[in-house]
Structure 1
Amino acid sequence: MLNKPLLALAAASLLPASLVPAAPAFARQAAVKAEPGMVSAADPRATAAGAEILRAGGSAADAAVAIMLALAVVEPGHSGMGGGGFLVFHDAAHNRTITIDGREAAPKAADPHWFYGPDGQPMTHAEAVPGGRSVGVPGALRLMALAHAKYGKLPWARLFDPAIRLATDGWAISPRFYNFIARPMPGLLNGWPIQYLYTADGTPKPVGTILKNPEQAALMKQIAAKGPEAFYSGAVAKSIVETVDGAPHNPSKMTEADIAAYRAKERPPVCGTYRGYRICGMGPPSGGGVAVLQILKQLERFDMAALGKDNPVAWHLFAESSRLAYADRDAYLGDPDHVQVPVAGLLAPDYIAGRSALISETGSMATIAAGKPAGAPPRVAVTPGPEHGTTDLVAVDRAGNVAEVTNTIESVFGSGLTTNGIFLNNQLTDFDIVPDRNGYLAANSVAGGKRPRSSMSPTIVYNPDGSVRIAIGAAGGSTIIAQVAKALMGVIDWHMSAQDAIGMGLIFSPGQTAVAEKATQAELMVPALQALGEKIVVAPLGLKANAIEMVGGHWVGAADPRSEGVSQSETGAPVVPRKAAAIDRPFD
């Protein structure tokens, strides 16, 4: 039965759209010149690498590359040269936003039934992950090289120095990394990774153990000296092909030509407004930019500020809006080089208004389905499996350039395959394994050369005067979209700091049943949310976000208290986020 006093209070706290204030929640802030640079990343050693590059006179792009390379050493189960990612970049000199797509690509030989077994039946996600078939042509280094070519200041080789030192001299296993290697991974890792990560009796090497990776260091030295072609051709490319095609489980059909042909691509950003702020994110093949904007725009007619962060009705509205955005993402988002993606239709004001009208403050939708935006072909959603091997970082330089990057190898330790001391992704399992339903080919079906849809949502938000307000991104599979939207709602609607907004618990609702993040304020709201008709369970969520915001004329970094991440000014010491006791526990 619905809680009538609660619902009455909820209705009273909402304003008609015509009465919702259009003014931004924060005063306008002029652009800051020569403010010291700032970095934020999921590991303090990677953050230190970015700060080192900024102190050496590097740009935000330089620092981002150095952080990505350092994370490849100290977070080998999450990202690296064997994976890919997306970059959203604020070009201060030209006051514009650019985005770079470094998403992995399927081999030319891939077809819609790529993940079907000899029996003609589709594999489960768990069956498809291990081995060669799940590996896409890595895009991370091409992304780094393109970002450096456009916006770098230091020599390419200089950016590799911190990572090469870490791989050569060694790095200590942290408590969080230990949690990853202590989890069951039956059949995923074999050979070198077992020797690298485990003791002779098969137990994980303890916290504090120093790991050295001379193969990875040698590979980085080679790429530092010769550029990315040292990875995409020659002996390294040949070793990748031999590894994935010769895998004992799910062998691939990748060729050296597939690897040589790969290019990172500059894509148009996806931008929209929310309460006077301009929000720019990554367009397709990411579904993140569109979905984050949809969640927020569908909420714009509600007075979320008046409801407040502690009101269950606000979180019910967030859950309902999320469901609609995720349904559209699953149905329509894919690689725009291969399928028609109706970005304009999905963000059109009349379409957003119609979707928002489905949301009620007094109850939950009985069914969730994708809408019918203008320009969309008929499709049926087929939702891919989870991903957890992802990381995020932000860098700002003295000129005001901002780089926001989300980088991934998809699952923890990707496909489990390695070469030259690096882990290879399992990114192709982000495709829809079953390519069609009811006669329609899914937007995210497998095809040769195609890039799988992603939830990664690197985002930059601008004040009404055009200056950068905040850059933010997250890791954690399909929760990424909700994490970013939640944090922006906290910053814009509830005047929270980026640090507090990131640390706030999440109600995650990609479908009919929502998940309240265990041991956070979200769990405490479950009875009230159930009274509003929510189907909801309580569980831990694998959340990890980073941000840098402009506050009072100064850059302020933020890192998720659930992770080991820190932020650091180029001129200061690392800032370790306060860890609330209720959420100080291992996360994905």
Structure 2
Amino acid sequence: MTPSFRLFLLAGAACSLAACNGDTPASAPAPETASGPGPEQAMVAAAHPDAVEAGLEILRRGGDAVDAAVAVQAVLGLVEPQSSGIAGGAFLVRYDAATGETVVYDGREIAPASARDDMWLDDQGAPFGFIEAWQSGQSTGVPGVIAMLAMAHEDHGRVDWADGFDAAIALAQEGFEVSPRLSALAQRVAPISSLARREPSRSYFYDEEGNAWPAGHVLTNPGYAATLAAVAADWRNFYTGEIAAQIIEAAGEEPLPGRLTEADLAGYEPVRREALCSPYRVYVICSAPPPSSGGVAVGAIMTILEGFDMSAHGPDTVEGWRLFIEASRLAYADRDQYVGDADFVDVPVAGLLDRDYLAARRALIDPEGGAIAAVSHGTPPGAPETAADTTPDNPGTTHFSIRDTFGNVVSMTTTVEAGFGNNRMTEGGFLLNNQLTDFAFAPRDEAGRQHPNAPEAGKRPRSSMSPTIVFDKNGAFVMATGSPGGNSIIAYTAKTLVAMLDWGLSAQEAAELPNVVARGDQINIERGFDPEILQELRARGFQIEGERGENSGIHIIALRPDGSLDGAADPRREGVARQP
């Protein structure tokens, strides 16, 4: 362990923000630890049983967690196409038990060379409506997940690249059962999307009367099988030749045709990034850096909460939820204002996670228990002047967590953005993403200041994906977590961290805990929340948006003190957490 990182760990373990406000690196080397005797306990937690089984089979063959991630992603793109797919993007965080290194693989989509900052403004300079933008070919970014997985596999793979596609190819050829969630969502989007009107998606997802196939219907996808066979032979086949031509053709159709080119696809490059780590009590929380806002926002929420004794205010108390709400509101305000693709704009990551700055933000929380009247962004050290955020929210995406028999861990969040991406399906049996709607629709304010998340050629749109791995003060693995859910991902992920690290809940209890999302002055609270706590929060001035559902998909793997694994699958979706 390096001396600098030892001090980083001790600083996080020895002091709360109330007593220790020295500057902390916004990004730190990954925790170092030696691998224990094998074989280690292994597990896959993901949003569909078929995907979990595919990952487990790779682990049984001696595969790395990255090998299993390839298999899980390939199957999810088939059985859960409303949430992710091979034409989408992802962030993968991997912990190496032998070296102690934690690294982030960035497979976020990229805007094509033709993109301009006014791409979401009409001829009168007004932003497009979301549905119009979502359904357009212009919304499709250059897909990144296949290239990213290939990079991670080259670094860590233990079985052949092609092995990761066996299960998905077999399911696509032989058939899989349509799940209740897939059927329901296909029916729900039909009136407002082109999914039920445009071929080949109309024939694939719907019967002759235009009704979504019911749960239990056996669906085959020979086009997807052929696509995966080509990718299994060489991942570059996805970005060139016939598959690339299919992507360009589907994106280029009216309305608002996209301008993806062969050069855009062939030139895509994933990025290997340093994990963004923040100390929290006796833990270190590591996630993805910009262009993801997850590591910044989750780190800020937890650092603000570190100044309070959260263990004394559990999930059955008004105070526990009040503090979580206020920390979330403050962190979201800064995230919305300042985070974009740091390869293109100045993102004040160190300032946003500066302990003195976050102590000042925490001081805005009323010690008497009332709600902050109106939350706005602060001015962290190094912050530039930027326009207000105009990025819409898209609640798609899926998350999975994996631990292999060597003790290595993957936490990966992956997406095609909105439900069924932009609803355009290729002849190769997969849907395109609408990731470019994750850019700000109005790139500049009246003063001409540009928002850091304005569109630009070659730029990655800001993401809320928060794949997270937690370590103890010695750098040993504690838990992996994450969730889908648009910008609510940040709140869902932070909830699981507070639930397990402060409130002592099990992984399943943490996943099942009602979701509370506080962004701005409106707080969304899930149905089933304690009515007495809800009433008291309203009495204290919080604007609660009445108990509506929250679409999380949390998947957790945690290591118990006895070395066994504690896994969880979000009951709001259809996943499981299983061991080989």
TM-score (norm 1): 0.90
Specify the alignment match of 1:411 in structure 2. Answer: 418
Q: Select 2:101's aligned residue among 96, 101, 113.
A: 96
Distance 2:383 2:17 in 1: 30
The alpha carbon displacement at 1:524 in A equals 4.6
Is the Cα contact below 8 Å between 1:388 and 1:475 reproduced in 2? Answer: yes
Counterpart residue identity of residue 396, structure 1: R
Give yes or no for the alignment of 1:208 onto 2:216: yes
Is the Cα contact below 8 Å between 1:78 and 1:388 reproduced in 2? Answer: no
Q: Select 1:504's aligned residue among 490, 513, 517.
A: 513
| Deviation readout 1:361-385 (Å, 9 max, x if unpaired) | 4111122111111111111331422
Give yes or no for the alignment of 1:567 onto 2:572: no
Distance 1:116 1:255 in 2: 22
Distance 1:434 1:118 in 2: 13
Q: Select 2:474's aligned residue among 465, 469, 488.
A: 465
Q: Select 1:241's aligned residue among 243, 248, 251.
A: 248
Matches for 1:183-332 after TM superposition, within 5 Å: 183-185=188-190, 186-189=192-195, 190-225=198-233, 227-245=234-252, 247-332=253-338
Q: Select 1:109's aligned residue among 114, 117, 120.
A: 114
Distance 1:524 1:248 in 2: 51
Out of 31-40 and 440-449, give the one that drifted further: 31-40
When residues 463 and 31 of structure 1 are mapped into structure 2, their CA distance, relative to the original with a 3 A threshold, is farther
Specify the alignment match of 2:10 in structure 1. Answer: none
Is the Cα contact below 8 Å between 1:32 and 1:554 reproduced in 2? Answer: no
Distance 2:444 2:124 in 1: 18
Is the Cα contact below 8 Å between 2:118 and 2:443 reproduced in 1? Answer: yes
Is the Cα contact below 8 Å between 2:506 and 2:566 reproduced in 1? Answer: no
| Deviation readout 1:319-373 (Å, 9 max, x if unpaired) | 1111111111111111111101111111111111111111124111122111111
Q: Select 1:377's aligned residue among 381, 384, 399.
A: 384
Specify the alignment match of 2:4 in structure 1. Answer: none
Distance 1:187 1:81 in 2: 21
Out of 232-241 and 410-419, give the one that drifted further: 232-241
Specify the alignment match of 1:455 in structure 2. Answer: 464
| Deviation readout 1:91-148 (Å, 9 max, x if unpaired) | 1121011001100000111011111223432202222100210000000101110110
Q: Which runs of 5+ in 1 are unaligned?
A: 1-14, 20-28, 571-588
Q: Select 2:503's aligned residue among 482, 490, 494.
A: 494
The alpha carbon displacement at 1:32 in A equals 4.6
Matches for 1:433-582 after TM superposition, within 5 Å: 433-437=441-445, 438-521=447-530, 523-538=531-546, 539-551=548-560, 552-570=562-580
The alpha carbon displacement at 1:31 in A equals 6.3
Give yes or no for the alignment of 1:395 onto 2:396: no
Q: How many residue pairs get matched?
A: 544
| 2:232 match: secondary structure | helix
| 1:386 match: secondary structure | coil
The alpha carbon displacement at 1:18 in A equals 4.8
Out of 523-532 and 88-97, give the one that drifted further: 523-532
The alpha carbon displacement at 1:170 in A equals 0.7
Q: Select 1:132's aligned residue among 121, 137, 154.
A: 137
Out of 542-551 and 113-122, give the one that drifted further: 113-122
Is the Cα contact below 8 Å between 2:34 and 2:100 reproduced in 1? Answer: no
Is the Cα contact below 8 Å between 2:17 and 2:359 reproduced in 1? Answer: no
Is the Cα contact below 8 Å between 1:514 and 1:537 reproduced in 2? Answer: yes
When residues 16 and 171 of structure 1 are mapped into structure 2, their CA distance, relative to the original with a 3 A threshold, is closer
Distance 1:369 1:447 in 2: 26
Q: Select 1:339's aligned residue among 338, 342, 345.
A: 345
Is the Cα contact below 8 Å between 2:110 and 2:461 reproduced in 1? Answer: yes
Specify the alignment match of 1:17 in structure 2. Answer: 18
Counterpart residue identity of residue 17, structure 1: A
Distance 1:383 1:465 in 2: 41
Distance 2:251 2:193 in 1: 16
| 1:36 match: secondary structure | coil
Specify the alignment match of 1:52 in structure 2. Answer: 57
Matches for 1:77-88 after TM superposition, within 5 Å: 77-88=82-93
Counterpart residue identity of residue 409, structure 1: V
Distance 2:34 2:567 in 1: 19
Distance 1:120 1:383 in 2: 14
When residues 524 and 73 of structure 1 are mapped into structure 2, their CA distance, relative to the original with a 3 A threshold, is farther
Distance 2:185 2:218 in 1: 16
Distance 2:314 2:423 in 1: 44
| Deviation readout 1:303-329 (Å, 9 max, x if unpaired) | 111111111111111111111111111
Counterpart residue identity of residue 414, structure 1: G
Counterpart residue identity of residue 254, structure 1: L
Counterpart residue identity of residue 430, structure 1: D
| 2:482 match: secondary structure | strand
Distance 1:84 1:191 in 2: 24
Identity of aligned residues (%): 43
Distance 1:365 1:439 in 2: 30
Distance 2:567 2:390 in 1: 34
Distance 2:326 2:231 in 1: 47
Is the Cα contact below 8 Å between 1:66 and 1:163 reproduced in 2? Answer: yes
| 2:483 match: secondary structure | strand
Distance 2:419 2:352 in 1: 32
Specify the alignment match of 2:373 in structure 1. Answer: 366
Is the Cα contact below 8 Å between 2:111 and 2:141 reproduced in 1? Answer: yes
| Deviation readout 1:35-88 (Å, 9 max, x if unpaired) | 232111000110000000000111111001110111011001111111001001
Out of 532-541 and 276-285, give the one that drifted further: 532-541
Is the Cα contact below 8 Å between 1:31 and 1:467 reproduced in 2? Answer: no
Distance 2:518 2:357 in 1: 21
The alpha carbon displacement at 1:568 in A equals 1.0
Counterpart residue identity of residue 392, structure 1: H
Distance 2:325 2:34 in 1: 35
When residues 536 and 424 of structure 1 are mapped into structure 2, their CA distance, relative to the original with a 3 A threshold, is same
Out of 111-120 and 337-346, give the one that drifted further: 111-120
TM-score (norm 2): 0.92
Distance 1:354 1:336 in 2: 25
Counterpart residue identity of residue 187, structure 1: S
The alpha carbon displacement at 1:30 in A equals 9.5
| Deviation readout 1:483-536 (Å, 9 max, x if unpaired) | 010110000111111111111002211110101111233x55211101221111
- Note the aligned Cα RMSD (angstroms): 1.6
Specify the alignment match of 1:582 in structure 2. Answer: none
The alpha carbon displacement at 1:16 in A equals 10
The alpha carbon displacement at 1:195 in A equals 0.7
Q: Which runs of 5+ in 2 are unaligned?
A: 1-15, 21-32
Distance 1:167 1:282 in 2: 32
Counterpart residue identity of residue 373, structure 1: P
Counterpart residue identity of residue 309, structure 2: D
Is the Cα contact below 8 Å between 2:136 and 2:257 reproduced in 1? Answer: yes
Distance 1:390 1:314 in 2: 28
